[in-house]
Amino acid sequence: MIRKSGWLIFLAMLAAILALVYLFLGTAIRLGMVYSLEKAVGAEVNISDVSVSLAPLTLNVSELQITDNAKPSHNTISFSNARAALELWPALLGYYVINDLAVDGLAYGTERSSPGKVFRGPHADPADKVDLQQLLRLDLPNAEELLARADLQTVARGEELQQLAKNQQQVLQDLPSQLPDKARLEQIQADIKALTDSQIANPADLAAKAAELKKLQDTLRAERDKLTAVQQQLSQSRQQLQQAVGALRDASSSDWQKLQDLANISDGGLAPISQILLGDFWGERIGQLEAVYRLAQPYIPESLPGKEQNNQAKLSLPNRILPLPSQPYPDFWIKNARVNWLICGGEALIELQDITAQHEIINAATRFNAEVTGLPQLSLLKLDGDFAVLEQMVTNLNWQLQGINVDSMDIGRGDTLLQLASASLSTTGKLNLVDNQVKQQAQVVLRQAEFSASPNKYIQQLAALLNQQAEISLNLTASGLISAPEVSIRSPLDKLLADAVLGEAKAKIAALQTDLRSKLDNELQQQLAGQSDWLTTLNTQDSEAKALEGNIEQMLNAKLAGVKEQAADKLKDKLRDRLGGGG
Amino acid sequence: MLTLLARILKVLNSEASPWQIGWAIGLGLLAGLLPFGLLTLFIILLVCLFTINLATFLLVWGLCSGLMFIFGDALEAVTWQYAQSPGLLQLLAQSETLQLFHLHHTLVLGAFVLGMLLLLPVAWLGTVLVKQYRGRVMSKLQQWKVVQMLKASKLVQLYEKLN
């Protein structure tokens, strides 16, 4: 049964729905945006108009203002107009592909015509606040701090040595009792002498004396074996002790090298002063880039390694998109975006292409470039780079800043306050970020810098020298984990500074060096304490053993030989007598 | 509630054929289960093109949309669990038409499959029940004093005039 007017009814219904949508969608979106934004920021949000045009499908948002809940007379963010052109077919498939996104007149902190309502106070996390004074601290590291940071091997080797000495202590104490008794040796010596000096009356007497001599000889051999064992034990102990002492001394040398590296004094002075001055500061600045990583992390696809899977929590979410093996478009994709940002009387033009978190689908990275001109404090800022979430999140960034007017910046505090009254700063650099691993290189040039210093003579000398320079250039590199990068800052000025600032600063470095060396030597002495006594004991006992050994050998050889010769002479005499006189 | 009851009685007692009412119940159920989208528009087109009872369709659509607020989460969770088959995912990934109907969205897929499974049995059951009602219940019901009182009431008479 076909209803002939069916098409007509359907088309009329569809037209009615589209008309309603066309008429009220803008208002609905405006109310939805105001509600969501107010809920998120806790302050009044105003949007003057939202309109939707159908061909092409475009959303226009006019005059958006978000009240600053900490300062209701001002906006946090506002813009005069934003326009997003959505592709229809992907939208019908459920993907948000925006061909062109343009935001004009974006501004931060503009004054409102009337104060906005505040629904919720600011919830600034104190941990996010940056204490510049703290960051710009100037402190030469002291010896104790460096010793604590150095993870000294001297102590460990020393403890090993002490343990070894303790083990050997018992052995060494028992050694004297194992040495042949001197009185007993003298008795044996006397017996041998009596035997060899006595006359041999007949063969039986010879045999008896020979047997007695052999017995004495065996006793002597046994004593000699004991002596040899003692000597071996002494030799072994001495060798082990010497090895341990050697290891301790090597560790001490290695520790000294490490401490020199840590204190940056291996060049014999103040060479890397820029590292000492700005190392921590730059490291903190790089570390703050971690905030960018944390911002981007929720948008990284879950298939990336290290991303936590939490399927259990998602079971309750309604209408999820199934994990298709491939999809024609990313979930969201802004092909071209252009933001015109009004900042401090100047203007920034930011252009971005291919904004998405699923770069493998479009096989391209998100590219961005920004150019800021006309600022009173900065003549030019150029920024460009790309960003892609593939196997890892990879970000490349190049920047060029020219003519940043720096005024009244404090480096350090108290006695070590170095005040930069004014300067013009230019910098170029590049940064590569792979997940949370950063590699960064930058050149910073400070021109017409005027420093003033605290009463500290060292800082005053430093300030005077810096003021004489037409240009101060710094090379900054950073690598490693973004939250705690290894920062290296070098300047061609470093050597000059080192040569020039020979006063207190040099003395301070020298004192640090001496202090470190003496502390390390103390450590070494403490670890070695008592070991020389043990070596002396070993040497004494070794000498005694050697003397005894010589004595025994002498007795064994000389006296035994005498008895044999006497016996042989007597036999010869007897034979000569029996054979009828001799000749 | 009284209006709803009167509307149901009016449809049941009308000249509309039982299959028109049965299919209206089945398609109303399908439209009600589905989140509003192209599939819903397609169902409305079917309802408009065929002489399906519009009042019954709209009534059941509204009722089932309400039921989805209660059972929607469970249906979505079950769909997520059973729709992970590589073959199905591959099919959905390759066909832009299926994606156009948002069948790669769990709730749409689950509601569509459930609705299609229930469509024929519900339409058939609806037709049978209307026939049974008209053959056995309607004449007896008309004789009930309560119904006669209801029909005589000014409210129902006013409603019938307005319709």
CB contact under 8 A, A320 and B109: no
Cis amide leading into A485 (omega within 30): no
A559/A163 Cα distance (integer angstroms): 46
Going by C-alpha positions, the residue among B33, B69, B27, B70 that lies closest to residue B51 is: B27
* pLDDT score of A233: 79
Residue B10 structure tokens: 């009016």
* pLDDT score of A466: 79
Residue from the list B38, B50, B83 with its beta carbon closest to the beta carbon of A3: B50
Residues of B in contact with A10 (CB under 8 A): 44-45, 48-49
A506 against A539, higher pLDDT: A539
* pLDDT score of A360: 87
pLDDT at A315 over 50: no
Residue B86 structure tokens: 């590589």
Residue A39, Cβ neighbours under 10 Å: how many? 11
Confidence of residue A53 (pLDDT cuts 50, 70, 90): confident
H-assigned helices in A387-503: 457-468, 493-500
A257 against A530, higher pLDDT: A257
* pLDDT score of A307: 44
Consecutive H or E run containing A366: strand A366-375
DSSP states of A470-513 as a string? SEEEEEEEEEEETTS-EEEEE-THHHHHHHH--SHHHHHHHHHH
Cβ contact B50:A7 at 8 Å: no
Q: Which of A346-350, A360-364, B134-138 has the least mean pLDDT?
A: B134-138
pLDDT at A333 over 80: yes
* pLDDT score of A259: 62
Residues of A in contact with B93 (CB under 8 A): 324-327
CB contact under 8 A, A9 and B48: yes
Express each pLDDT in A160-206 by its tens digit: 777 777 777 677 677 667 777 777 777 877 787 777 777 666 767 77
pLDDT at A310 over 50: no
* pLDDT score of A535: 63
Which residues in chain B (28-87) have CB-CB distances under 8 A to chain A?
35, 38, 41, 44-45, 48-51, 72-73, 76-77, 80, 83-84, 86
CA atoms within a 13 Å half-sphere pointing along the CA-CB vector of A109: 4
Q: Percent of chain B, pLDDT > 70?
A: 85
Q: Which residues contact A253 (CB under 8 A, 6 or more apart)?
A: none
A49/A194 Cα distance (integer angstroms): 132
Residue A139 structure tokens: 């402190």
Express each pLDDT in A115-153 by its tens digit: 888 887 664 444 444 343 343 333 445 555 555 655 666
Mean pLDDT of chain A: 74
Q: Which of A510-519, A526-535, A547-556, B26-35 has the highest mean pLDDT?
A: B26-35
Average pLDDT over residues A24-37: 89
Residue from the list B38, B49, B106 with its beta carbon closest to the beta carbon of A322: B106
Could you list the beta-strand ranges (E) of A87-174.
96-108
Q: Which of A251-255, A323-327, A359-363, B118-122 has the least mean pLDDT?
A: A251-255
CA atoms within a 13 Å half-sphere pointing along the CA-CB vector of A165: 20
Residue A364 structure tokens: 């391209």
Disruptive mutation site among A11, A89, A324, A361 for chain B (greatest number of B CBs within 10 Å): A324
Neighbour-count burial of A19, counting CB atoms closer than 10 A to its CB (0-12 exposed, 13-18 middle, 19+ buried)? exposed
Confidence of residue A473 (pLDDT cuts 50, 70, 90): confident
pLDDT at A485 over 90: no
Alpha-carbon distance A5 to nearest alpha carbon in chain B (angstroms)? 7
* pLDDT score of A129: 43
Q: Percent of chain A, pLDDT > 70?
A: 66
Cβ contact A75:A47 at 8 Å: no
Q: Which residues contact A22 (CB under 8 A, 6 or more apart)?
A: A52, A54
Residue in chain A nearest B99 by alpha carbon: A93
Confidence of residue A516 (pLDDT cuts 50, 70, 90): low
pLDDT at A112 over 80: yes
Residues of B in contact with A315 (CB under 8 A): 77, 80
Cβ contact A452:A417 at 8 Å: no
Residues of B in contact with A316 (CB under 8 A): 73, 77
CB contact under 8 A, B105 and A319: yes
* pLDDT score of B79: 93
Q: Which of A556-570, B13-27, B30-44 has the highest mean pLDDT?
A: B30-44
Going by C-alpha positions, the residue among B155, B144, B142, B134 that lies closest to residue B2 is: B155
Confidence of residue A279 (pLDDT cuts 50, 70, 90): low
* pLDDT score of B27: 95
CB contact under 8 A, B104 and A321: yes
pLDDT at B61 over 90: yes
Residue from the list B50, B106, B108 with its beta carbon closest to the beta carbon of A1: B50
* pLDDT score of B123: 95
CA atoms within a 13 Å half-sphere pointing along the CA-CB vector of A453: 16
pLDDT at A113 over 70: yes
What separation in angstroms does the CA of A326 have from each of A323, A329, A361, B18, B87? 8, 9, 8, 46, 13
pLDDT at A576 over 90: no
Our CA angle for A460, A463, A468, nearest 5°, is: 130
Rg (CA), chain A: 45
How many angstroms from the chain centroid is the CA of residue A59?
Answer: 49
Residue from the list B41, B45, B89 with its beta carbon closest to the beta carbon of A323: B89
Structure letter (DSSP) for residue A384: E
Phi and psi based region of residue A459 (left: phi greater than 0; alpha: psi -120 to 50; beta: remaining): alpha
Q: Which residues contact A415 (CB under 8 A, 6 or more apart)?
A: A454, A455, A456, A459
* pLDDT score of A306: 45
Q: Which of A33-47, A166-180, A300-314, A545-559 has the highest mean pLDDT?
A: A33-47
Disruptive mutation site among B46, B48, B97 for chain A (greatest number of A CBs within 10 Å): B48
* pLDDT score of B31: 95
Average pLDDT over residues A426-448: 87
Size of interface A-B (CB pairs under 8 A): 80
pLDDT at A81 over 90: yes
* pLDDT score of A225: 81
Residue A388, Cβ neighbours under 10 Å: how many? 21
Q: Which of A220-224, A242-246, B74-78 has the highest mean pLDDT?
A: B74-78
Q: Which residue has the tokens 């792979």?
A: A434
Phi, psi (deg, nearest 5) at residue A520: -70, -40
A485/A129 Cα distance (integer angstroms): 20
Residue A303 structure tokens: 């298939």
Cβ contact B102:B37 at 8 Å: yes
Q: Which residue has the tokens 């592909």?
A: A97
Cβ contact A402:A429 at 8 Å: no
* pLDDT score of B107: 92
* pLDDT score of A326: 84
pLDDT at A114 over 70: yes
CA atoms within a 13 Å half-sphere pointing along the CA-CB vector of A406: 21
Confidence of residue A332 (pLDDT cuts 50, 70, 90): confident
CB contact under 8 A, A320 and B106: yes
Our CA angle for A243, A245, A249, nearest 5°, is: 115
What residue type is A443 in one-letter code? Q
pLDDT at A88 over 80: yes
Residue A199, Cβ neighbours under 10 Å: how many? 7
Residue in chain B nearest A88 by alpha carbon: B100
* pLDDT score of A386: 92
Alpha-carbon distance B100 to nearest alpha carbon in chain A (angstroms)? 5
Express each pLDDT in A355-408 by its tens digit: 988 888 888 999 999 988 877 777 788 989 998 887 788 889 998 888 877 777
pLDDT at A503 over 70: no
What residue type is B93 in one-letter code? A
A90/B96 Cα distance (integer angstroms): 10
